[in-house]
Structure 1
Amino acid sequence: MRRTAERAAELLGGTLAMSERLQGGDVAEVLRIELADGRTAVVKADRRAEAEARMLEAIRRAGAPAPDILARAEGLLVMSDLGGSEGLAAASADLGGAILRLHAATGEAYGWETDHGFGPVAIPNGETEDWPTFWAERRLLPFCPTLPDDLAHAVEAAGLRLGEILPKRPRPALLHGDLWSGNVMTRAGRVTGLIDPACYHGHAEVDLAMLCLFGNPGDAFWEAYGPDAGHETRRPAYQLWPALVHLTLFGSGYRELVERCLSALPR
């Protein structure tokens, strides 16, 4: 940790005064540093740091809040310090507007310029002809070789049915890609930054489903965002992917979540 902090301080042209590890670094090292001149920054050490920097830049270009990139080097990203987060409740309406602006930015195809990942979990982003094929082949089916046989068969069956559940060619919106409450920084009723992105272009409802996986952003969010009719019906298909990610990263305690998503798919 000390070497990472010192390297970041050098990139900022300062001397390290202190550093502390931040919560949320499940798949990367995340630190807050303070320099001798009083400046502070957040540092992320990850082999995918440059890819994340480009994602944060895309979020900012879309008009949504994200931390400033102060410096970057191979495997290291130094960002502005947004401080702590006060939670979503007071910032629910502002979050709805921020995500609406994010999703207004579009790409030419589904996917992203490079593949990505959460630690050991690969996130393939190669283009496909249509959206149900993308969600099946790039998000759900890659997990099947490592799943217990019964879950693998159920996920394969779900993948075959996506054409009946998901729109064939929705607008390829810019997605945050890992939009849960811990990745939304807030203060004084405003969203100060969307952090830890895993961006790609796809159906906007992916982010909405992820935001509801472990809670709900509140009525003010939905009023500000204005989701399409039927989004709740499609939600389990989109929540299945982060459920599989959690099962892979954190173990069998998330099997019930995977099963719940599977059983909630439209019949």
Structure 2
Amino acid sequence: MDPVSAAIGRLFGAVPAGLHRLQGGDLSEVWKVRLADGRDVVAKAGPLVLREARMLEAMAEAGAPVPRVLASEKTLIVMEYLPEARPGPDSWRALGAGLARLHETTAARYGWPVDYAFGEVAIPNARGADWLAFWTDHRLLEGRDVLPAGLAHRLDRLAHRLPDLIPDSPPAALLHGDLWTGNALFTEAGAYLIDPACYHGDAEVDLAMLELFGRPHDAFYEVYGRPGGDWDSRRAVYQLWPALVHLRLFGTGYIGMVEDRLARLGA
């Protein structure tokens, strides 16, 4: 018996009736599972899934729409299955409302109780009261030693300019932390947030990530509200970090994304 079926058997008292690997999951393994009682659930395996489960619970406590965690065991969590549907204006509005509720939950400090990771890329989350220091040390310059020297020097120069580019003390909002459009799951009932990498920080981090590979429907901003001021610069700063993560995880195919954000910032 495969390890996933065995684990689900322990958690639910019976071996599953079916197991189907889902697409995606570059950094983890995900299955749609038919339980012995006929229910469909989603199982996700990986070294940090219990930390993800706690993030989902924190988001649910904040009133954000997330899949319910049904059971967990060491490196496996089991969540409710949510059938996807084509997104329309109403579901984009639901996403805007859900994200706004998430961001209304704030903390006294930036960061998260534990560190996280995307595959081999570490995500340090040490808590602190200084947003500029958090973004500089734990995001922008994290991993600079493994980057080409020229790129690392450009990031160093940009770090000195951050006080002119992003706010120094925004509310420490509860963030999804990896909110690209693929981590918004649309259903007939609305929109859900999946695959989080939570920490507390500037709410605009999630908005910037949501625009990294596309743009939300206008209906999203009708509910959430549009960023003001020099959003183009702040968005480029906050998009630079996931661009660097993609470069480290998936290779030089993402160097253009990194170069584009640096050019927008005059770096």
Paired residue secondary structure (2:7) = helix
Matching residue's letter, 1:117 = A
Cα deviation per residue 1:211-255 (whole Å; 9 max; x = unaligned)?
000000121111110134123331000000100010011100000
Tell me if the contact between 1:165 and 1:266 (Cα under 8 Å) persists in the aligned partners: no
* Higher mean C-alpha displacement, 5-14 vs 166-175: 5-14
The CA distance in 1 between the partners of 2:137 and 2:207, in whole Å, is 21
Match of 2:170 in 1: 170
Contact persistence 2:59–2:102 (CA under 8 A): yes
Partner amino acid, structure 1, of 2:257: L
Contact 1:111 1:200 in 2 (8 A): yes
Taking only the aligned residue pairs, the percentage that are identical comes to 49
Kindly provide the CA deviation profile for residues 49-99 of structure 1, in whole angstroms up to 9, marking residues without a partner as x: 111111000111111111111101111111111123434655211111111
The DSSP-based 3-state class of the residue aligned with 2:66 is coil
Q: Is the 8 A contact 1:12 1:70 kept in 2?
A: no
In structure 2, the CA distance between the partners of 1:131 and 1:138, relative to structure 1 (3 Å rule), is same
Please report the TM-score for the alignment, with normalisation by the length of structure 2.
0.95
- Write the distance in 2 (CA, Å) between the matches of 1:227 and 1:65: 21
Shift of 1:36: 2.4
Q: Is the 8 Å Cα contact of residues 89 and 219 (structure 2) preserved in structure 1?
A: no
Please report the RMSD computed on the Cα atoms of aligned residues, expressed in angstroms: 1.6
Distance in 1 (alpha carbons) for counterparts of 2:88 and 2:246: 22
| Counterpart contact for 2:34–2:41, Cα < 8 Å | yes
CA–CA distance in structure 2, aligned partners of residues 85 and 182 of structure 1: 13
Deviates more, 1:81-90 or 1:210-219: 81-90
Ranges in structure 1 where 5+ consecutive residues have no aligned partner: none
Q: 1:156 to 1:233 in 2, by over 3 A?
A: same
Per-residue CA distance 1:161-216 (angstroms, 9 max, x = gap): 1111111100000000000111111112611x211100000000000000000000
Take 1:219 and 1:76, find their aligned partners in 2: how far apart are those partners? 37
Aligned residue pairs total 266
Distance in 1, Cα, partners of 2:226 & 2:58: 22
Segments ≥4 residues shifted beyond 3 Å: 87-90
Check whether the contact 1:2–1:19 (CA below 8 A) recurs between aligned residues.
Answer: no
